[in-house]
Structure 1
């Protein structure tokens, strides 16, 4: 059997375990007991504060002695009265000191709870980021740029990290947030209870960030999708859900779960496609940056009733400061670079590259005259077989080679150099590719002797792949060493070699970037910008999917001499008309100013340019 003391202690423990509120209640009860007990003794002894004092006066006096023992006299009344008031004061001291301790502890616990980031987010129309990786800095930065034209905006982050740690990390990397408030909460995106804290049902967009430090991030993305879309305690997510995944098979599983409610980006494939396209066209990297970065021109979808019954070719020249990329039909179909004779119907909208959504406006006034005599009518320059060098190997290698095979001419040679034997992988690829002849050499890509023996200047393009088998910083350090050797070799031979370099950590881009359009530094930043663009406008998902797919229309850099006469001043409207005759859209130019190449997109139609040999026109075309 338990003793009375044990039972009392157990009851007290249970009471105090209920938190600060229960302790305050117990303390208040104790204070009432002290006051009532002293009052009862006073009545029994027949003593009171004064001859005319009532029972209410006695209770008030006891209350004052209990709560303010230092501000009352102790020399009034007889000794029995003084002793009772002393007991009330002593009990009050104990109760008040305990009260201060409880309040201090409660306040500390409250601050600790807030620091842990477990409080409910009272936001609507916010952008929600679930998870944490190196990508998050690029994503938040792009969201801040996208929100610049708003009065206020909010980005909420939920991740399994300390709230203060997340806030400090974001503040250190992104000190200026403009009108965008950043709210961090600690918790697991896989936990329905934690997920409910950030109110995904009220978010206008949800971006799922796969963690860096696990072997199978796709599995995490799938589980988060399940929690977002099917958990009853979270609510129905109404905003766009965007995520990147590595494996195409896993994407199929995620699509079964999410249906049309989520936009799933094959991250590995997208980066591989960008590497593939840019390795053959120096300067194209800056065009992709313009399309994906909210700091420059972006793609917008805008409905213009005045274009109804016009052809797409006519519409191209009707915008002075915007470049049309395609149409969104009234039925919701996305058409990138549609046939030029396509009639724009009622309810159709244009897909336009412009400075902002409010700059997609029709020209006011007379259109610039097209110089028909300056337009070249000869056939486009034929494709030639290329010689491509790949330094290093990772999981993207297979994607890159298969994508390259769809772009290059028959007879193109691709040579791989890596410190491991990949002949088995190349044998599998040889059965798939039709236009590329594959070869390989075992060697260390950071060795100058290996690079000199490879005769780097004989190649048209060089792709440097990050070694994902190594830690991120070590892999990027080796990539930088290889890049330094390549630039030195190119400088010594006086040849401009197109080098595409893959980096794993975006912070290392600054160490590698130089004033050259031939070096394209690929990293997770590209995927981050793509995630943000689609989160802001889900309809752009099909546009970018077409742009990065060899089966649709892509961006190309083609000789300006295929479009207009060199040495003759023409307005850009003439370039647009020349490209339109070929079923292409002129997006911009790559020109040499002195010895430096400059890339410009979305050029005003009335601006006059003079092209010379070596200048390129950036076009959206099928081939």
Structure 2
């Protein structure tokens, strides 16, 4: 057993030595790692500069005090003292009893602490030496007051060190200013607003308050232009754009497509970020927004709807929203899922199907596109929806005299149902919103006293349209082409033809599905 222990002990010692060396190396590496981590932060850089500057002045002050030949150093400011002459006493015995002032000063100097050195009759404060070294560091011209070569050389060395020190400080200051200017250019600063409208991918109207756009798409510029028109009656507003593009690129695109007169007093603020990141949503004050609009992006429909769903989850799971959310959906099959996640606070708009219907109707009726442009945009008359308590109980047929500057076309019931051209004898109930066609939201109001409208004396019969067979040419392809063909079939006469021209290869199965 003793022999075995004697063999194992050296082996254990040889294993422990490398382990100890590795531990030492690890400790050094960890120390340097912590120093690098500390210096990489702005707080660490500031602390390093302050500490290095203070240490430099103290060390240089100590060395400079040693160069002052014949001058003892004290920690406090004290006036230089000179030996006062002692009056000659008349009595010889008093000469031996009363010590002279010079002897007392010498005794006091010899019995003092080690902070002073008896090099002469003058005393120089350590704080004064440190102050002189600070003058050497900050002002190289202070060397002119030094007349001894050893002090001149010391002052020159301190000034050179001071130049490098201030170069480092200047570098940090320039870097901080560059970072701040870069943040401003890239749009990374916060937006402090309340009761504004948040636009995820594009902005919306907020009655003079801030409008926020999260994201960027090909519809953003035209949407911002419509917002500026809508805000014109309110004296302008603020539109905030949060996009994943660079701030400079977004502003360049706006400047290339919009003239200064197109803003109508509205200010557009651009911020760089992603609407999928909660910190970026906080940066644009999405939690205090009056309304939020999420527009679809230009990518695949499923990816766009998935991104929209993630934004809604972030908004509802992180913030306590003050307004409603309007989300644009690319695929109608994803609409129930958005309603399930968003609840009653989220309104969906399947723009792909709506745009397809508008294209189809405009193709059959030339000039209809200008009508839609006037009704759906803010350049002409547009639709407005609002409750009017003073007309509760009034029949719908009697609304026209009560809106002299607007045309009532329908209503939104208290249950949220949209009814266009309801029954003429329908009584307006409490909570019903009247849908009118007006120039702006501040150009009309409900009158309590109806305006007298003269009755129509002459009428013209409505001539029926001539039924003709049509031939329609469809260029291109859509994923919902079958739905568009079904809608077109409801409008055209029997025997009409539709010709499809696209790059896809159509087989027998495709012909059967389109039949």
Which shifted more, 189-198 or 353-362?
189-198
Q: 53, 62, 83: which is aligned to 1:31?
A: 53
Are 1:211 and 2:234 counterparts?
no
Rounded to whole Å, the distance in 1 between the matches of 2:511 and 2:289 is: 46
Q: Which of 130, 133, 158 matches 1:59?
A: 130
Is the 1:319–1:362 contact (alpha carbons within 8 Å) kept by the matching residues of 2? Answer: yes
Structure 1 residues without counterparts, runs of 5 or longer: 431-623
The aligned counterpart of 2:497 is 414
Higher helix share: 2
1:143 and 2:227 aligned: yes
State the 1:130 CA deviation: 2.3
- Residue 371 in 1 paired to residue 456 in 2? yes
Instruction: Provide closer, same or farther for how the CA distance between residues 6 and 279 of structure 1 changes in structure 2, counting only shifts above 3 A.
Output: closer
Check whether the contact 1:117–1:184 (CA below 8 A) recurs between aligned residues.
Answer: yes
1:187-217 CA-to-partner distances (Å, cap 9, x unmatched) read 2222233333222212223232333244642
Shift of the 28–165 alpha-carbon distance from structure 1 to 2, 3 Å rule, reads same
1:95-153 per-position Cα deviation (integer Å, ceiling 9, x unaligned): 11111112112222222233333322223313222222211111111111111122442
Q: Output one character per residue of 1:505-544: Cα deviation in whole Å (capped at 9) or x when no partner.
A: xxxxxxxxxxxxxxxxxxxxxxxxxxxxxxxxxxxxxxxx
8 Å contact from structure 2 (residues 62, 130) kept in 1: no
Pairing of 1:237-256 with structure 2 (within 5 A):
237-256=321-340
| Cα distance in 2 between the residues matched to 1:4 and 1:243 | 55
Q: 1:202 to 1:179 in 2, by over 3 A?
A: farther
Match of 2:314 in 1: 227
Matches of 1:8 and 1:346 in 2, distance apart? 73
1:227 deviation in Å?
A: 2.3
Structure with bigger strand share is 1
Report Cα offsets for 1:385-419 as digits up to 9, x if no partner.
Answer: 5413123241142222111233445x251221425
Deviations 1:254-294 (A, max 9, x none): 22111222222112210122133334433332222122101
Report the Cα distance in structure 2 between the residues aligned to 1:195 and 1:358, rounded to whole angstroms: 32
After superposing the two structures, state which structure 1 stretch, 292-301 or 190-199, moved more: 190-199
The size of the alignment, in residue pairs, is: 422
The alignment status of 1:90 with 2:160, answered yes or no, reads yes
Tell me the secondary structure at the aligned position of residue 341 of structure 2.
Answer: helix
CA pair 334-418 structure 1, distance change in 2 beyond 3 A: closer
Post-superposition offset of 1:342: 0.9
Alpha carbons of 1:345 and 1:252: their partners in 2 closer, same or farther (altered >3 Å)? closer
Residue of structure 1 equivalent to 2:342: 258
Aligned counterpart, 1:387: 470
2:513 to 428, 436, 445: 428
Q: Which structure ranks higher in relative contact order (CA pairs < 8 Å, sequence separation ≥ 6)? A: 1
Equivalent residues of 1:385, 1:412 under 8 A apart: no
Work out whether residues 130 and 206 of structure 1, in 8 Å CA contact, stay in contact via their aligned partners in 2. no
Q: CA deviation at 1:93?
A: 1.4
Residues of 2 paired with 1:4 and 1:40: CA distance?
34
Q: Could you say if the C-alpha distance between residues 227 and 303 of structure 1 is closer, same or farther in structure 2, counting changes exceeding 3 Å?
A: closer
Report the equivalent of 1:15.
38
> Structure 2: which 5+ residue stretches go unaligned?
1-23, 74-79, 81-121, 197-209
SS at the partner of 2:292? strand
The 3 A distance-change label for structure 1 pair 260 and 405 is farther
Report what 1:290 is aligned to. 374
Is 1:386–1:413's contact at 8 Å kept on the other side of the alignment? Answer: yes
Larger Rg belongs to: 2
RMSD of aligned Cα (Å) = 3.1
Tell me the TM-score normalized by structure 2. Answer: 0.73
Question: How far apart are residue 168 of structure 1 and its match?
Answer: 1.2
Match of 2:426 among 320, 324, 342: 342
3-state DSSP class of the match of 1:391? strand
**Distance in 2 of aligned mates of 1:141 and 1:45:** 75
**Secondary structure at the counterpart of residue 343 of structure 1:** coil
1:158–1:189 Cα contact (<8 Å) kept: yes
Residue 63 of structure 1 and its aligned partner are, at CA, apart by 1.7
